[in-house]
Amino acid sequence: MVAVACVAAAVATTGVQGLAPMLPAMQEALSLDDAEVALFTTAYLLPGVVLGVPAGLLAERFGRRAVLCLSLAVFAVAGLAPLLAPSFVPILVSRAVQGAAFGAILALTITLIGDVLTGPAQAAAQGRRIVAMTVGEAVLPAVAGLLVAVAWYAPFALSVLAVPVALWGWFVLPPPSRSVVDRPDAGERAARPPSTLRQVGHSLRDGGIVGLQVLAFLRFFFKFALLTYFPLLAVREAGLSVAATGIVLGAASVLGAVTAAASGRLLRRFRAATVVATSIVVTVAAFVVLGLVPQPVAVVASLLAFGAADGCYAVAQNVLVTEAAPPGARAAFVSLTGAVRNLGKLAAPVACGALAVLLPLPSVFLVMAAAGAALAFVLVPVSRLETSLRRSHG
């Protein structure tokens, strides 16, 4: 199950990183302006915000195997569709459909690992999942760059990789139990626990659960703000070349994969909330340095520190989310968290863009650092939640 989760998560990166080298060629071929190019990504991420929870509810009702494999199949078909109609409106429609499947895939790959593992063992497996995604993020753009030489729309063909993974998952993942798929009789209905949606809604009354969602939002808000505006800061303010900026971004991603892989051992010694808190401190410090000292050495060191912290942050937060999920509603709960993460991805470029209109670019990073520090108070209820979970698990 863990292997399927890791490979499925890696294949899902074909929808963003695998298509990034194609964007300039697509813009030229279809005569798009910058706002229309931005829609290409927005159309992909927005359905994950809106449809994340319904996907989790379907996984609780029909089982992980059916929903994950169907999502992979939809991901492949929608991703391949632009090969038949390489014009902008059909591409946006296919991106929206593929984005809905993407949100389900990422949430369910986290859920599958949480279903079978706990504690440090789960942390190690979540780390392997992030390593797999990092490999995808490193390899797929290179492949896409070669495909662009064939035709600007050829990288869409990478989505076909989801088909064998869907077939593999169907034969490897266990089918749902009878109790999941059968309609209960009157007696069972009277005795059954609250509905999945009600369990998830009730869990949000806990300050620690709300804090977990804030942490999920913060991680991707920081990450996508950095991915969007770090290249501008590095080139304009620090004087790095475009090539050097790309190398530093790649190195930070690799460093994040290394720390994610080591997080299993880290979480044997430290609480997950402590790891997340340390990661946020490092992230805020990195943004402060980027804002105050936009010099080559400081900029490179800050990004590498952010990459290392993000790898630990990702694993520790995934462990907390899966272990805090209400009984019988893990897929729906993780999908809700996935929707919040996608909201962070969408909000970051918009918020930073608005700030950049009013402030110099280095000051934007300082405002981001202040916002992160102000919201770090949610770690207090999250720490209490982790203590409660440890007691309940013995």
CA distance readout (Å), 26 to 23, 87, 89, 136: 5, 9, 13, 22
Over 60: is that where the pLDDT of 245 sits? yes
Task: Give the least confident one: 3-12, 69-78, 117-126, 137-146.
Answer: 137-146
pLDDT band at 194 (very low <50, low <70, confident <90, very high): low
Q: Which helix (H) or strand (E) holds 3?
A: helix 2-12
pLDDT band at 68 (very low <50, low <70, confident <90, very high): very high
In angstroms, rounded to a whole number, what is the distance separating the alpha carbons of residues 44 and 36? 13
Over 60: is that where the pLDDT of 181 sits? no
The percent of residues above 90 in pLDDT, for the chain, comes to 42
Q: What is the pLDDT of residue 148?
A: 87
Q: Give the tens place of pLDDT for each residue, 1-50.
A: 899 999 999 999 888 878 877 888 888 899 988 778 878 888 898 888 88
The pTM score is 0.83
Q: What is the pLDDT of residue 189?
A: 45
Q: Give the tens place of pLDDT for each residue, 315-366.
A: 999 999 998 888 778 888 888 998 899 899 888 888 888 888 889 989 999 9
Q: What is the pLDDT of residue 156?
A: 94
- Which residue in 269, 18, 36, 295 sits closest to 156, CA to CA? 18
Q: Which helix (H) or strand (E) holds 320?
A: helix 296-324
CA distance readout (Å), 64 to 23, 168, 310, 330: 34, 14, 28, 11
Domains in the chain, please, with CATH?
2-174 (1.20.1250.20), 197-392 (1.20.1250.20)
**CA 375 to chain CA mean position, Å:** 20
Q: What is the pLDDT of residue 158?
A: 93
Over 70: is that where the pLDDT of 150 sits? yes
Provide the residue type at 50 as one letter. Answer: V
**DSSP per position, 226-271:** HHHHHHHIIIIIS---HHHHHHHHHHHHHHHHHHHHTHHHHHHHS-
Over 60: is that where the pLDDT of 161 sits? yes
Q: Give the tens place of pLDDT for each residue, 344-358.
A: 988 888 888 888 888
**DSSP per position, 160-226:** GGHHHHHHHHHHHSPPPPHHHHSPP-HHHHHHSPPPHHHHHHHHTTSHHHHHHHHHHHHHHHHHHHH
